[in-house]
Amino acid sequence: MGNKVLIFSAPSGSGKSTIVNHILGLWGDKMEFSISATSRAPRGEEQDGREYYFVTPEAFRELIAQDAFVEYEEVYTDKFYGTLKKEVERIWNAGHVIIFDVDVKGGVNLKKYFGENALSVFIQAPSVEVLRERLIRRGTDTPEAIEDRVAKASEEMTYAPQFDHVLINDDLQEAFEEAEFIVEDFLADGKLDGNF
Ligand code: ADP
Ligand code: 5GP
């Protein structure tokens, strides 16, 4: 059985969560989210072991020293995020495909690590203007945070060519169909369990 992984990365507001949730809605019984470790504090209703494994910065550094990570990134100052090797083993041992939802640098690093076992997808809004409008309409960020995210997006878009597939999320229904197609095609090649 192939140990398959799906990697989704995108600048914030591109529609990554919307598309990943759609894919999970279709194949959630065969796939599982990789829960990252982070040294940032839990927000709102977040629970340890559900959204993230929450650890102190010291504990995170100790895990780095132990070579416990597939990849990690200091996304913001002193705010580490990383994928634990143990988490990968946990999901594969359950016989599930792993879904990664990571920043674009993490996505590139994970693709390098998993190689042919991975499908990496970069989700992109049709333009920076549309991205800004979606973030405003989503209503989860302050105007300053939105401008930060938009500014970061321009840099992040330069990573798109390093992904296996760039999915332009313009019409949502079409984006869903394209995502379904590429995921199904990738998993069928792996002859995971004959059901794809
Ligand atoms: P991300 O996870 O990449 O930050 P979200 O999935 O939260 O992005 O999408 C950002 C906002 O844009 C959400 O409010 C979502 O409902 C909306 N959205 C996503 N895709 C589309 C689309 N194709 N057309 C219009 N709005 C969209
Ligand atoms: P947040 O703090 O909003 O949950 O996440 C901040 C950023 O960290 C997001 O871009 C998210 O995709 C990224 N991230 C989450 N987990 C990981 C991980 O394991 N590795 C990397 N490189 N980035 C991650």
Token pair 């559900």 is at which residue?
A: 50
Tell me how far apart the alpha carbons of residues 4 and 12 are, in angstroms, rounded to a whole number: 25
Q: Could you give the percent of the chain with pLDDT greater than 90?
A: 87
Residue type, 105: K
CATH 3.40.630.10 assigned to 1-30+96-196: no
Three-state secondary structure of the chain:
CCCCEEEEECCCCCCHHHHHHHHHHHHCCCEEECCEEECCCCCCCCCECCCEEECCHHHHHHHHHCCCEEEEEEEECCEEEEEEHHHHHHHHHCCCEEEEECCHHHHHHHHHHHHHHEEEEEEECCCHHHHHHHHHHHCCCCHHHHHHHHHHHHHHHHHHHHCCEEEECCCHHHHHHHHHHHHHHHHHHCCCCCCC
Ligand nearest to C-alpha 10: 1
Phi and psi torsions of 109, nearest 5° = -65, -40
31-33 β-sheet, strand order: 31-33, 97-101, 5-9, 118-124, 165-168
Ligand 1 atom with minimal separation from the 10 CA: 3
Q: Whose CA is nearest to atom 2 of ligand 2?
A: 40
Residue type, 188: A
Ligand nearest to C-alpha 171: 1
Q: What is the pLDDT of residues 68-102, one digit of tens each?
A: 999 999 987 889 999 999 999 999 999 999 999 98
Q: Whose CA is nearest to atom 10 of ligand 2?
A: 103
Q: Look up the pTM and report it.
A: 0.90
Indicate whether residue 149 lines ligand 2 (CB < 6 A). no
Q: What is the pLDDT of residues 106-120, one digit of tens each?
A: 999 999 999 999 999
pLDDT attached to residue 12 = 87
Indicate whether residue 106 lines ligand 2 (CB < 6 A). yes
Name the CA dihedral angle for 73, 149, 55, 77, rounded to a multiple of 10 degrees: 60
Q: What is the pLDDT of residues 8-63, one digit of tens each?
A: 999 988 999 999 999 999 999 999 999 999 999 999 999 999 999 999 999 999 99
What CATH number belongs to 35-95? 3.30.63.10
Q: Is 20 left (phi over 0), alpha (psi -120 to 50) or beta?
A: alpha
Rounded to the nearest angstrom, the distance between the alpha carbon of 103 and the centre of ligand 2 is 5
Indicate whether residue 9 lines ligand 2 (CB < 6 A). no
Q: Count other Cβ atoms within 10 Å, centred on residue 24.
A: 15
Query: Any idea where the domains of the chain sit in the sequence?
Result: 1-30+96-196, 35-95
Indicate whether residue 102 lines ligand 2 (CB < 6 A). yes
